[in-house]
Amino acid sequence: MTVLHLADEGEAADLAAFLSRLLHYDRGAAVRIQAAGTALAVFGRPPSFEVLAIRAVRLAKPYEDGPAAALDVTVSAGELLESVDEPASTAVVPAAVTGPPWAGVLPPRGGWRPEPGLPAPDALRAAVGAAVAEFRSRTEELAPQQRTRAEVDRIGREIWSRTIGGTGLPVRVVHAAQSLGFLRPEGDDPALFTSGAWLRLRTPYGSVAVRRAGREALGVSVR
């Protein structure tokens, strides 16, 4: 049994809250966890948003399990949540599960460059609020015979794929950050970074990353 010793009760509570939010969107959610040194990274993919959420957790001491100095495994989010002991600031690593496809394609660890143009937090929250209101209004206006899953999904894709200003960041990334508890009124302002095909919205409470499509995002040109 591998026990993770988290830095304090607050880190344990934040980890539990993140896992609970993931399970709200997918009761069978899996997470990929990586630990090295005193850092633990937990990756999840809430299906409603089609993004990758990353929660960084501080460990009380450098990870070490016998000869292994690093951990990298995909586990059940529900089982990991059940193992979190907030007063003791510990969590037990559950048995590995067969990971979903997204777990094999994670953002790079390095090479991130700051991207300018991200609006202030109040403007980001306002953009999400406006998108939610538009989605609700447009779906409620549909005639009963038109209110199909395909049509509702089409409206959602149109709204949530819109980008924030000139950043190229889809609105759904900001919505996910807010829904997962990463975009809060308190704390430092969020920042936007890019690395290869990836965009990453980073806040003091977690990050949300998304892959961009197309050759330009991959840095590939056709001659």
In sequence order, the 6+-apart residues with CB closer than 8 A to the CB of 202 are: 190, 191, 192, 193
Mean pLDDT, rounded, for 66-77: 90
Give me the architecture of the 3-103 domain, per CATH. Roll (3.10)
Q: Give me the residue label for tokens 């709200």.
A: 24
Tell me the sheet residues that pair with 34: 41, 72
Give the global pTM: 0.88
Beta strands 198-203 and 206-211, pairing class: antiparallel
Cβ(117)–Cβ(201) below 8 Å: no
Say what the pLDDT of residue 27 is: 94
* 217 pLDDT above the threshold of 80: no
* 221 pLDDT above the threshold of 90: no
pLDDT digits (tens, 9 = 90+) for 131-156: 999 999 999 999 998 999 999 999 99
Between the alpha carbon of residue 154 and those of residues 32, 59, 67, 139, 185, the distances in Å are: 30, 42, 51, 10, 31
pLDDT digits (tens, 9 = 90+) for 164-204: 988 999 999 999 999 999 988 876 789 999 999 999 999 99
Instruction: For the chain, give every residue range classified as CATH 3.10.150.
Output: 3-103
